[in-house]
Amino acid sequence: MKKLIAGNWKMNGSLAANEALLRAIAQGLAGGAPSCDIAVCVPSVYLPQLQALLGEAASPHVPALGAQDVSPHASGAFTGEINAAMLKEFGCRYVIVGHSERRQYHGESDALVAEKARAALAAGITPIVCVGETLAEREAGRTEEIVRRQLAAVIHVNGHCISEIVVAYEPVWAIGTGKTASPDAAQAVHAVLRAQLQAASDRSARVRILYGGSMNAANAKDLLRQPDIDGGLIGGAALKATDFLRIIAAAPHPVPAKTAI
Ligand code: PEP
């Protein structure tokens, strides 16, 4: 399976800064097909700008477009919300749901995250479902329980099409802190999530499980070579083209599928 490297620009950027960043990324990718899939998840107001810039790019090797949140509702009196059909109109292929910053600052529950994933899937957008434990939960030995509970809610609501999601394991204590889970520790949690997906769907092998939390150019290679780490969700390091390109370059090529003799 091809790895996926997705940038989460969070609430950063401006028209000028986005254009410079996107052009630098596109230029860095112009030399040939990267070994992995790439996406940038940008603030929603900039989706039209990014859609236009990506459409104009001379090279076919450009990132796919993603958003950072979506309403669970289809339309109506939900002031400030953006629905999945709107994201689709602006070329979104991915949308992040349940990022820890939304769970923490906006009180998003597991059930709401599951509904957001459902809304994205219904519109043909791949939800990148974030799960992860806080430092207190890790120290209390509750990591597995927390991530399994968060993923179970999404499986419960989306069971029939769970193989269409991407999961991102993002330990909250590692996001934006410079502290990264060690490759072995991250792999152990990814294996738990993989087993949970396997129990839920016989098509689970196609679900990519990304790691997120201070992934950078220096640590990406060791994380991305773990068997159940299928890519990265990158915050800070996605805002500098050179760093983002170095993470992309660190992604190993997919192992070719075995052919029957
Ligand atoms: C994130 O926001 O999803 C993230 C992983 O951030 P950072 O890479 O900055 O830790």
170 is catalytic: yes
pLDDT tens, position by position, for the chain (261 residues)?
Answer: 999 999 999 999 999 999 999 999 999 998 888 999 999 999 999 999 999 999 998 788 899 999 999 999 999 999 999 999 999 999 999 999 999 999 999 999 999 999 999 999 999 999 999 999 999 999 999 999 999 999 999 999 998 899 999 999 999 999 999 999 999 999 999 999 999 999 999 999 999 999 999 999 999 999 999 999 999 999 999 999 999 999 999 999 887 766 655
Question: How many domains does the chain contain in total?
Answer: 1
C-alpha–C-alpha distance, residues 168 and 206, integer Å: 14
CATH code for the domain in which residue 152 is found: 3.20.20.70
Is residue 256 one of the residues assigned to a domain?
no
What secondary structure letter does DSSP report for 106? S
Question: Ligand 1, closest atom to CA 170?
Answer: 5
pTM of the model: 0.96
**Pocket flag, ligand 1, residue 175 (CB < 6 Å):** yes
Is residue 12 one of the residues assigned to a domain?
yes
Is residue 225 one of the residues assigned to a domain?
yes
**Pocket flag, ligand 1, residue 254 (CB < 6 Å):** no
234 C-alpha to ligand 1 centroid (Å): 5
Q: How would you classify the pairing of strands 231-234 and 4-8?
A: parallel
C-alpha–C-alpha distance, residues 170 and 126, integer Å: 18
For residue 4, with 0-12 CB atoms within 10 Å meaning exposed, 13-18 middle and 19 or more buried, which class applies? buried
Q: What is the best residue among 214, 216, 219 to mutate for testing ligand 1's pocket, by most ligand atoms within 8 Å of CB? A: 214
H-helix or E-strand spanning residue 225: none
In which domain, by residue range, is 15 found? 4-250
**Pocket flag, ligand 1, residue 70 (CB < 6 Å):** no
Contact between 238 and 39 under an 8 Å Cβ cutoff? The reply is: no
